[in-house]
Structure formats: structure tokens, C-alpha cells
Amino acid sequence: MKQRTLTNQQHIHTAIIMDGNGRWAERRGLPRNYGHRAGADAVRRVVKAAPELGIDTLTLYAFSADNWRRPEREVGSLFRLFHSYLLSETEKCVEHGIRLNVIGRRDRLTPTLLDAVMQAEDATAGGAALHLNIAIDYSARDSIMAAANLAAGGAGSREAFASAVALASNQKAVSFDVDLLIRTGGEQRLSDFMLWESAYAELYFTGTMWPDFGEADLAQALSAFHSRERRFGRIREAVAV
């Protein structure tokens, strides 16, 4: 069977761990929530640039299940930001053919935010230019555990399990594997993000803080991605077959 194309791949799933908002603000003597606000502007830039760079699915890590451990004030301001992002962006997403899907747990979202999420998802459901997944209260381990429970009793195929993982994290479509995983902010770890889907992801780490990340940085990450040889376990000679 032919593998998905290698260097000239057009349908790229890029996932981003958007890290560094707090440090960006602290370095400027500003409260951390200023960094989160500047981070929301970086999201807008990257979403706009993604389709032109051949990205058809963009999955953004906005809030991990472990981020509940942060001070209540910071958590509160992050959730207010998610809400205002949904309200301000839904119409733009419809206009630009962007299908929005919030992935992660839903039972800890406030009813008002949940309403905004469902409204945004319904309104943008027809979008085909870009599938934008925003991970809020997300844990890859929780998704995999929930999928294991769903699949309990039957061995099933790898594909069936992948669907269960997608379902467990509220992904609307069975998301295909992550091709390129970017982490900003200088740390080189996964922090419980897309562990199943990133089995063969190309990893790209940059010291750029998320609020400073823009179209040129995304293009640079894509260019690094295109220079990688993805072998999927095979040897070099067989890759292009």
C-alpha cells in the first residue's frame, strides 16, 4: 500500500502546543493574562495563514486538563478569552470556510461557554477550507483511557480504536494522524497532547514565545517539515514507492 505522500503532501495536519504566553508577559512586566490576550491574536494570524500553507487541519492546544491547577484568576481570564474568541470569530470562520471543533472534555465547561461552543460548531459545520480544532480541557491520556473503555470487550482494529479516541475527545470527524507537531516557548515535551495521533508526527520545537509566533514562523516550520524524510518504519530506498 502506498503511504501518504511524503515531501509534496498537500493535506497536512498541524498541531500546535501554544506555549509561552505567561513568560512573554512577565518579561514585559505585565500580568500573565496580557500574554494570553496577545496569544489570541497569534491564533488569529496562524488560522488565517494555515490554508495557504497547505494545512487542512489545525489543532491548537489552548487549555490542558492539568491547567486547572493554575490560580483561579488565571483560569477565569483564560475561559473569558475562549468565550470572547468564539463570539468574535464564528462569523469570520463561516466567511472563510473554517469548520470549528472544540475538542476535550465538556462536562467542566460552564453552560454559557458550552452554548457558545455548540453554536460556533453548528454555524461553521459546512466549512471545508480548514478544520480548526481547539483543545480545551484536553488530556490525551484521558481520551485514550475513555477509548479503551469504549472498546472494552472487543479487540477491534487499530482504525476502530482511532475512531474511539476521536469520539472520546469530541472530535467531529475521525481526525487523521498529526503530520507536524509544533511547540513554541522553548520546552521540548508533549504535556499530554495528541499522544495517539502523533505516533509518526514530525516534531518541531521553537524558542519563540507563542504571542510572537506568526505567519513567517509557521512557514518556517512547514519548510522544516517538508525537508524531513518520513519513513514510517521502512528503509530509505522504499520510501518513494
Q: Where in the sequence numbering do the catalytic residues fall?
A: 19, 67
Crossing angle of the two packed helices 111-124 and 72-95, in degrees rounded to 10:
20
Question: Is the CB of 92 or the CB of 189 nearer to ligand IPE?
Answer: 189
Task: Work out whether 191 is an interface residue with ligand IPE (CB under 6 A).
Answer: yes
Binding partner of residue 204 among ligand IPE, Mg ion, none, CB under 5 to 8 Å per kind? none
Nearest to 199 by CA among 162, 238, 151: 162
In the region spanning residues 63 to 122, those forming contacts with ligand IPE, defined by CB under 6 A, are 63-64, 67, 78
The three-class DSSP label of residue 97 is: coil
Cβ neighbours, 10 Å, residue 85: 17
**Using CB under 6 A as the criterion, what x/- string covers residues 29-68 for binding ligand IPE?**
--------------------------------xxxx--x-
CB of 240 to ligand IPE, least distance (A): 36
Q: What is the CA radius of gyration of the chain?
A: 18
Binding window for ligand IPE (CB under 6 A); candidates: 161-169, 171-179, 181-189, 231-239: 181-189
Question: Is the CB of 22 or the CB of 127 nearer to ligand IPE?
Answer: 22
Nearest to 172 by CA among 90, 101, 99, 93: 101
CB of 37 to ligand IPE, least distance (A): 11
Binding partner of residue 63 among Mg ion, ligand IPE, none, CB under 5 to 8 Å per kind? ligand IPE
Question: Is the CB of 9 or the CB of 67 nearer to ligand IPE?
Answer: 67
Instruction: Tell me if 25 sits within 8 A of 33, measured CB to CB.
Output: yes
Instruction: Tell me if 47 sits within 8 A of 90, measured CB to CB.
Output: no
CB of 99 to Mg ion, least distance (A): 28
Residue number of the CB atom closest to Mg ion: 19
Taking the C-alpha atoms of residue 99 and residue 92, their distance in angstroms, rounded to an integer, is: 11
Crossing angle of the two packed helices 32-49 and 215-227, in degrees rounded to 10:
60
